[in-house]
């Protein structure tokens, strides 16, 4: 049976400041852990759950059926959050939650190709309707393109060596074959490190396949414009690139004045639209990390619409 532990669950519920009559969006439904707890706190309110993975929508229908018409599920991409809520005739939401991590069932389902711990077809698509897969990236992108995403998305210091080895080994069909190629390209000292040698490369390829950073940027723009005054935006990220995007978006909404610093007053017309609820990212407790090691790198940032 698939097991999924919702990361920073209590912190998210507190951050959203849920009202029983409010309208809330869980833009990354996953296996419905956060969504179920939000729905429990609603009376006349409504929860919209969105996911681009049809497996998540199917599981969510079963898990959340007890809440009846308080919950609406949408098979879609959170980057389209603006158009999704518009189509549902929701002018503004009182809170939106986005968990940017790969869910445990996706990682644990070897056939989806997200994990470097098994041997499966190279896939890594969040939405299995999408055309681009990890197989396409690994086998058709140029060595230079692969090196770039390993640098940019994986912060992999051995990016040139790994990209060269991938290009030389083609065609690579499975995750196990890719792990072997990565290992062959890395020095012995790197292979002795605690972190799995393929972790950064798999992360980079997954981000590229799903255009995750572009999707996050689009989501942040759409979410902010569709929050009601006083509404909360809560975003959980798992690596520095995503967290930087979220942090920058909040700062831009809070302090986006473009006037030179020596100007005595603002003349650019900037009006703040966000307020950071917490100046620093909220991190999982030691107890949560002990129970769920995958939470170790999680960071929650929260902002309020002004």
Residues 296 and 163 in one domain: no
Which of 131, 132, 107 minimizes the C-alpha distance to 199?
Answer: 107
pTM score, whole prediction: 0.90
pLDDT given at position 1: 38
pLDDT at 29 over 70: yes
Residues 38 and 58 in one domain: yes
pLDDT given at position 263: 81
pLDDT at 226 over 90: yes
Domain endpoint, select from 210, 244, 263 = 210
pLDDT digits (tens, 9 = 90+) for 265-286: 888 877 889 999 988 999 999 9
* Pairwise pLDDT comparison (259 vs 28), residue with the higher score: 28
Residues 197 and 259 in one domain: no
Average pLDDT estimate for 48-63: 95
Average pLDDT estimate for 120-147: 96
Domain endpoint, select from 210, 245, 262 = 210
39 pLDDT band, cuts 50/70/90, is: very high
Q: Which domain holds residue 187?
A: 115-210
Residues 137 and 84 in one domain: no
Question: What proportion of the chain, given as a percentage, has pLDDT over 70?
Answer: 99
Residues 57 and 203 in one domain: no
pLDDT digits (tens, 9 = 90+) for 70-105: 999 999 999 999 999 999 999 999 999 999 988 777
Which of 225, 222, 202 minimizes the C-alpha distance to 274?
Answer: 225
4 pLDDT band, cuts 50/70/90, is: low
Residues 97 and 218 in one domain: yes
6 contacts 292 by C-beta, under 8 angstroms: no
Residues 121 and 170 in one domain: yes
Q: What is the mean pLDDT of the chain?
A: 94
Residues 178 and 228 in one domain: no
CATH of the domain at 41: 3.40.50.150
């Amino acid at each position: 049976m698939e097991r999924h532990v919702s990361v920073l669950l209590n912190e998210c519920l507190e951050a959203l400041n849920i009202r029983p009559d409010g309208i809330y969006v869980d833009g990354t439904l996953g296996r419905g852990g956060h969504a179920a707890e939000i729905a429990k706190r609603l009376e006349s309110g409504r929860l919209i759950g969105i996911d681009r993975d049809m497996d998540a929508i199917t599981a969510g229908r079963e898990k959340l059926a007890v809440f009846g018409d308080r919950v609406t599920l949408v098979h879609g991409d959170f980057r389209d959050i603006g158009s999704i809520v518009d189509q549902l005739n929701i002018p503004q939401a009182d809170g939106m939650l986005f968990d940017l991590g790969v869910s445990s069932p996706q990682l644990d389902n070897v056939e989806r190709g997200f994990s470097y711990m098994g041997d499966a077809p190279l896939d890594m698509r969040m939405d299995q309707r999408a055309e681009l897969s990890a197989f396409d990236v690994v086998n058709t992108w140029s060595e230079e393109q692969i090196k770039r995403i390993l640098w940019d998305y994986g912060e992999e210091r051995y990016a040139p060596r790994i990209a060269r080895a991938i290009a030389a080994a083609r065609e690579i069909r499975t995750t196990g074959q890719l792990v072997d190629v990565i290992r062959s390209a890395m020095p012995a000292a790197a292979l002795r490190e605690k972190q799995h040698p393929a972790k950064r490369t798999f992360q980079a390829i997954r981000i590229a396949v799903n255009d995750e950073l572009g999707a996050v940027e689009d989501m942040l723009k759409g979410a902010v414009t569709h929050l009601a005054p006083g509404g909360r935006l809560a975003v959980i990220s798992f690596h520095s690139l995503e967290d930087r995007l979220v942090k920058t978006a909040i700062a831009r909404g809070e302090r986006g004045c473009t006037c030179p610093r020596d100007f005595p007053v603002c003349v650019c017309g900037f009006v703040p639209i966000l307020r950071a609820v917490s100046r620093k990212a909220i991190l999982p407790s030691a107890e949560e990390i002990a129970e769920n090691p995958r939470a170790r790198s999680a960071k929650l940032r929260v902002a309020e619409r002004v």
